[in-house]
Amino acid sequence: QVQLVESGGGLVQAGGSLRLSCAASGSIFSINPMGWYRQAPGKQRELVAAITSGGSTNYADSVKGRFTISRDRAKNTVYLQMMTLKAEDTAVYYCALDSRMVRYWGKGTLVTVSS
């Protein structure tokens, strides 16, 4: 089993910053592909950023240049540094990890950006 625990969400003003963390535990390897997704009210869940086993990253167009995904392999933790936040970034942010063709999800952390 795999457990993912997100933290770092909260209320921030537009233009501000937040850093989300996702700690993984269980039957994992430090190189598992991981990613951040988000779901705003009334919308589908969408990919925000992902990091592969080799360390390559990719981002949604809407967050390029503002968000950065990174990982600490020793801590089995992935981060999402979010800068210059906008009201449209408001959503529940979910961490995901891929292992043996199964995608595991965290419970999510709410990010609210006030304009």
pLDDT tens, 83-108?
Answer: 999 999 999 999 999 988 899 999 99
End-to-end CA distance of the chain: give it in Å, rounded: 40
pLDDT tens, 2-16?
Answer: 999 999 999 999 999
pLDDT tens, 14-53?
Answer: 999 999 999 999 877 767 899 999 999 999 999 999 999 8
- Residue 30: the pLDDT is 67
Give the residue among 43, 20, 11, 12 at the shortest CA–CA distance from 108.
Answer: 20
